[in-house]
Structure 1
Amino acid sequence: MKFLPIVTFAVALCVAASAAQARPLEAVRQDGTLRIATEGHYAPFNFFQGKQLTGFEVEIAELVAQKMGLKPEWKTLSFDALLTGLQQDRWDVAIASHAITAERAKAVTFAAPHYCSGGTIVSMAPKLRRASDLAGKVVAVQTGTTYAAEVQRLPGVRAVKNFPSDTDARSALVSKRVDAMVTDRFIAKELLRKSPQAGFHMGEMVTVERIAAAMALGNTGLADAWSQALQAVMADGSYAKVAQKYFQEDIRCPAGR
């Protein structure tokens, strides 16, 4: 889902890498602890219930860590600092609904995707359903997401407004400061489920994305081990159980994606 649309992003991470060395798989195994970072404010994927960090990605990551024989150690911070921190050796893994993109792949190493989704239109007007309906409209997105760039490419969009969080974008929509917002498909479904009387309408997807955990650039040993453990979690039925809990459907990527 999320993407820093800055040309210098990969360069900044590479500079940071010179100051610290990411822990390879062997060092992580010796320590016995897997340091995992997430945002913590992106329900139902990663969020707090009281003081307890939870969500689909949190539960999946903990299952993966268990398969790897490691104890997860969680860190939460702003989304835009997650990938940079990988190259500063502040944590081993970042999992916060990061879409796999060519630009990001220059800066981090992705594991296998743990779900597929896409940017979906949400509005207070039933007629705003398709990408073409956004012509002449002001559209809200969360800062740092792939959706900002994707919406800007849509023909005729009047303006794209960035907000610090998905919640802020939603507030702008409710207060009619924008005509629509583009957010993750599952976030949109959860929004409509939790607030059926609020007047939200869910339109079509404008993007399709593969979402994966990220490791420091070149840390392929750790990424491969994570991917193998994720495959085991998907094979033993535990992935489907967690997906059903949060989405009432299996959200893994179809074969070939």
Structure 2
Amino acid sequence: MKKHMSTIAILFAVIFLLAACGSQQSGNQSKGDNAGSNYELIRPGTLTLVSTGGYKPFNYMENGEMVGYDIAVGKEIAKILGLELKLEKAEFQGHIIGIQEGRYDIAIASHTITQERKKQVNFSQPYYYSGPMIFSRPDTGIKSAEDLKGKKVAFDRSTVYREYAKMYTDKFDFYDDDLRALQAVADGHGDAGITDEIMGKTSIENGLKLIAGDRLDTTEQAIVIKKGNDKLLEAINDALAQLKSSGKLKELSLEWLGIDITQPE
């Protein structure tokens, strides 16, 4: 009888251990799901983010590392999703096609939400609000949209801000990024540039010989995600909601930009 009871006790112990191991494996699997198996990623467990590295203070290179507000937001999102973050650097005009072709999971590079872009990719909820502003040399007298009549305006070649100048002029110069466009204006090539308010003002603070004119609109900037990757879109929107409710997104904005641009005006 004692031998029989001992055998039963051993069987119960084995069953208990197996159940515990199964529970642990289930927990590990659940953690794996949270680390990206529920949505399409180029590399399992890794969030591949593309940015330009040339749009200070949002994304730029410092000591060989890409940093800025956009990058800081991406790092926090990857942390919430339980994913490793891999940063890729590419010209702005290649981001949307790169997302469509599956070279990157997301793009965080101050992309303005537009109806035309929404036909090509999905956008997250906005993670900041800004707007296009006119920048010119002090001697031009250009401050308002009306002042752009007949003038030559410089742009990043992929910007949507050209639409704000088209009704006043048809003279444009295009450059690989906004900083090059503004630098060209400062050097006397063209009469004015239109770019994001904060980016332009930061360039002036860093020594660019330009003045800020009128802001032309308020725009929403968001994270770019491939169409059809709905679970990743939902996860990123949830992460942004957490960053907003916790105050972390505002903290990042103040840290990198000196102002809070996480809420619409």
**In structure 2, the residue corresponding to 1:86 is in which secondary structure?**
helix
Distance 1:79 1:148 in 2: 15
Q: Report the Cα distance in structure 1 between the residues aligned to 2:43 and 2:75, rounded to whole angstroms.
A: 18
2:219 is matched with 209
Q: TM-score normalized by structure 1?
A: 0.83
Return 5+ residue gaps in structure 2 as ranges: 1-35
Instruction: Let me know the Cα RMSD of the aligned residues.
Output: 2.0
Aligned to 1:108: 121
The answer on whether the counterparts of 2:179 and 2:203 sit within 8 Å (CA) in structure 1 is no
Whether 1:138 and 2:161 are equivalent positions in the alignment is no
Structure 1 counterpart of 2:251, one-letter code: K
SS of alignment partner, residue 98 of structure 1: strand
Q: Residues 113-124 of structure 1: matches in 2 within 5 Å?
A: 113-124=126-137
Instruction: Give the match's secondary structure for 2:183.
Output: helix
Specify the SS of the correspondent of 1:26.
coil
Find the residue that maps to 1:83 and give its secondary structure: helix
| 1:55 counterpart = 2:68 | yes
Letter in 2 for 1:202: A
Asked whether the equivalents of residues 152 and 160 of structure 1 are also in contact (C-alpha less than 8 Å), the reply is no
Once residues 25 and 141 of structure 1 are traced to their aligned partners in structure 2, the CA distance between those partners, rounded to angstroms, is: 40
| Higher RCO by CA contacts (8 Å cutoff, separation 6 or greater) | 1
| TM-superposition CA deviations, 1:105-144 (whole Å, max 9, x none) | 1110111111111110001137321111111211111101
Tell me the CA shift for residue 103 of structure 1. 0.8
Aligned residue for 2:39? 26
| 1:165 and 2:172 are equivalent in the alignment | no
**Structure 1: how far apart are the matches of 2:38 and 2:47?**
10
Q: Which residue of 229, 247, 258 maps to 1:237?
A: 247
Match of residue 79 from structure 1: 92
Name the counterpart of 2:236.
226
**8 Å CA contact retained: 1:113, 1:212:** yes
Distance (whole Å) between structure 2 residues aligned to residue 182 and residue 29 of structure 1? 35
Question: How far 1:59 sits from its partner (Å)?
Answer: 0.3
Q: How many residues are treated as equivalent by the alignment?
A: 229
Deviation string 1:171-209 (CA, Å, 9 cap, x unpaired) is 2212212111111111112022222xx542101112321
Q: Please, which of 71, 77, 83 is the counterpart of residue 64 of structure 1?
A: 77
Q: Is the 8 A contact 2:108 2:223 kept in 1?
A: yes
Please report how far the alpha carbon of residue 238 of structure 1 lies from its aligned counterpart in structure 2 after TM superposition. Answer: 1.6
CA–CA distance in 2 between the matches of 1:244 and 1:97?
16
1:148 corresponds to which letter in structure 2? R
Which deviates more from structure 2 when the two are superposed, residues 67-76 or residues 118-127? 118-127
- Equivalent residues of 1:67, 1:229 under 8 A apart: yes
What is the match of residue 14 of structure 1?
Answer: none
1:174 aligns with 2:186: yes
Match of 2:25 in 1: none
Q: Tell me, in whole angstroms, the C-alpha distance in 2 between the residues paired with 1:214 and 1:179.
A: 32
Asked if residue 190 in structure 1 is aligned to residue 202 in structure 2, the reply is: yes
Do the aligned residues in 1 keep the contact of 2:92 with 2:177 (CA within 8 Å)? no
Match of 1:19 in 2: none
Distance 2:162 2:97 in 1: 20
1:86-108 CA-to-partner distances (Å, cap 9, x unmatched) read 12111111111111111111110
Post-superposition offset of 1:25 = 4.1
- Unpaired segments ≥5 residues, structure 1: 1-22
Counterpart position of 2:164: 150
Identical-pair percentage: 28
Distance (whole Å) between structure 1 residues aligned to residue 39 and residue 229 of structure 2: 11
User: How many Å separate the matches in 2 of 1:210 and 1:106?
Assistant: 16
d(CA) in 2 for partners of 1:202, 1:26: 43
TM-score, structure 2 normalization = 0.81
